[in-house]
């Protein structure tokens, strides 16, 4: 079964002093699911909003897709997903286990 990756934004932090409400911090999560196995990675990215920039998006018009694109512009998306794939592999085939051989 193929791994499905879902990127979400859990929270934003925005400035309140200039009136532009530019987003300064994004709290993101990427969840990988393969059948009954799932694992996720969580992080934050910092941003410097510039209302004079032609690409600036007003807070009320920002979408989750915009935020995900901003996050993925700052982190290594492929490396994040590769690490989650390794985590799924480890769940399926644990590299270590614990126990007491005499109690088996």
Residues 55-96: tens digit of each pLDDT: 999 899 999 999 999 999 999 999 999 999 999 999 999 999
Residue range 88-104, pLDDT digits in tens: 999 999 999 999 999 86
Return the structure tokens found at 96. 């270590």
Q: In this structure, is the dihedral angle defined by the CA atoms of residues 75, 68, 34 and 43, taken in order, positive or negative?
A: positive
- Enter the pTM of the model: 0.88
DSSP H or E stretch at residue 66: helix 64-74
CA–CA dist 84, 33 (Å, integer): 9
Q: Identify the pLDDT of residue 18.
A: 80
Q: Cβ neighbours of residue 52 under 8 Å, at least 6 residues apart?
A: none
CA–CA dist 84, 25 (Å, integer): 23
What pLDDT band is residue 20 in, cutting at 50, 70 and 90? confident
């Amino acid at each position: 079964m193929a791994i499905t990756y879902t990127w979400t934004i859990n929270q934003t932090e925005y400035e309140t002093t200039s009136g532009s409400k530019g987003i300064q911090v994004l709290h993101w999560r990427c969840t990988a699911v393969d059948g009954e196995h799932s694992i996720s990675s969580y992080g934050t990215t910092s941003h410097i909003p510039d209302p004079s920039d032609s690409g600036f998006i007003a807070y009320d018009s920002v979408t989750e897709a915009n935020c995900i694109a901003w996050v993925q512009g700052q982190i290594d998306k492929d490396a994040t997903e590769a690490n989650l794939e390794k985590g799924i592999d480890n769940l399926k085939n644990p590299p270590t286990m614990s126990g007491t051989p005499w109690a088996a």
